[in-house]
Amino acid sequence: AKKSSEFKSKLLKELRRVLEDEGNVLKSGTENPYNVQYEGARGNFHDKTPKQIMCELRKIKIKTLKRGDVRGGPSNIGDFLPKRGLFENRKFNSCAIVASAGSLKDSNLGKTIDAHDLVLRFNHAPTKGFEEDVGAKTTVRVLNSQVITREEFKFLQSDIYKNLTVVAWDPSVYKATLEEWLEKPEFNLFPAYVEYKRKNDKARIFLINPQSLWELWDFLQGNSPGRLRRNPLSSGFLGLGLLLPLCNFVDIFEYVPSARVTKRCHYYDPEDNPACTFGVWHPLAAEKLLTYHINTADDHIVFQNGYVRIPGFKNFKC
Ligand code: C5P
C-alpha cells in the first residue's frame, strides 16, 4: 500500500506539472494549426464528483458517419458508409482498452485483458508474440488516418486489420463543417476506406465524425484546471468516449501509468520517449488526471496491476 501511495503522489505531481507547463507555454503564444478558439468556461474536475463528470460526459455523443450523412463526397465515400452506427443496439458487460504503453511489457496482463467481452486496441499495436502481456483478442481497432494512409502500416494488406471492427479517425480544423473536412482531411483516408470496403463488402469499418472529437476536447478543457494543448485528444481518450455508452464497465490498461512505467513509448518497440506517456502533442496529462478522478478501482489495481476501471453510462442516473 505504501509503495502505491508513494508512486501515486509522484505520478500525479508529474502529470499536474506537465499540464501547468503546457498552460504556461500557451500564454506566450504558440501555433494553432487546428485553429482552436475555445470560448467556454474552464473548470476543474476536482471541484466535481465523478458522477457529475460522468453525467456531463454522457451528453457528448461520439458519432460515426452513416449512410445519408454524406452525399457523394470524395471517392464517393457516401455510398460506402454503414447504415448503422458503431455497435448500434449492442451492449457489452466488460470492455478493455489496451493503451499501447511501454509499461505493458512484462505486465503479464494478457489473460486479464482477454477475459473482457470486448477488447479495443489502437493502430498497428500487435498481439502476436506479445500475448502474455497484452492478450490475443481484438474486437475493435481505433486507427488514426496516418495508419490508414501510410504505406508502412499496410492497412489494406496486413491481417491485423481483418476480422474485426475498424474505427477510423482524422482531425478536422476546430469548427470545420463536415463538408470542409471531407474536402480537406488532414490525411486523405477516404480512398483506403473505400478500397477496404470494396475488397470485402461485409467489412465493418466506421468513420468518426470529426466534430465529435472537438466536442470531447471542449469537455476536457471545460474540466481542466489549466489550458490544454490545442491539438486533438489522444486516441486513448477517444476509445473511452466510444465505449462508455456500450459497456457496463471499461478497464483501461496502462493509460494511467502503473509503477512499471519507464521511458519506453510502446510495448512493441524498444524506442524510448517519455512524451508518449506524459504528452507533448496530445493533451495527455489532462486526459489522464481526469480519467484517474472517475476511476473506481483501488490504488493497488491502478498502480500495481496497471488498469483503471470506469463504470459505463448506464450506471448513472443523471
Ligand atoms: O501511440 P499510439 O497512438 O498508437 O497509442 C495509442 C494510445 O495509447 C495513445 O493515443 C495514448 O492514449 C495511449 N498511450 C499512452 N502511453 C503510451 C503510449 C500510448 O497512454 N506510452
Residues having CB closer than 6 A to ligand 1 are 99-102, 122-123, 234-236, 255, 265-266, 276-277
Tally of domains within the chain: 1
Identify the CA nearest to 150 among candidates 115, 113, 184, 123. Answer: 123
The residue to mutate among 107, 120, 122, having the most atoms of ligand 1 within 8 angstroms of its beta carbon, is 122
**Coil, helix or strand at residue 18:** helix
Residue 22 lies in domain: 2-315
The residue to mutate among 271, 276, 281, having the most atoms of ligand 1 within 8 angstroms of its beta carbon, is 276
Q: What is the pLDDT of residues 80-92, one digit of tens each?
A: 999 999 999 999 9
Distance CA 280, CA 270 (A): 19
Q: What pLDDT, on a 0 to 100 scale, did the predictor assign at position 207?
A: 98
Q: What pLDDT, on a 0 to 100 scale, did the predictor assign at position 280?
A: 76
**What average pLDDT does the structure give for the chain?**
95
Q: What is the CATH number of the domain that holds 298?
A: 3.90.1480.20
Could you tell me if 26 and 288 are in contact, meaning their C-beta atoms sit under 8 angstroms apart? no
Q: What is the pLDDT of residues 37-71, one digit of tens each?
A: 999 988 899 999 999 999 999 999 999 999 999 99
Confidence of residue 30 (pLDDT cuts 50, 70, 90): confident
Residue nearest to atom 18 of ligand 1 (CA): 101
Whether ipTM exceeds 0.95: yes
What is the pTM (predicted TM-score) of this model?
Answer: 0.97
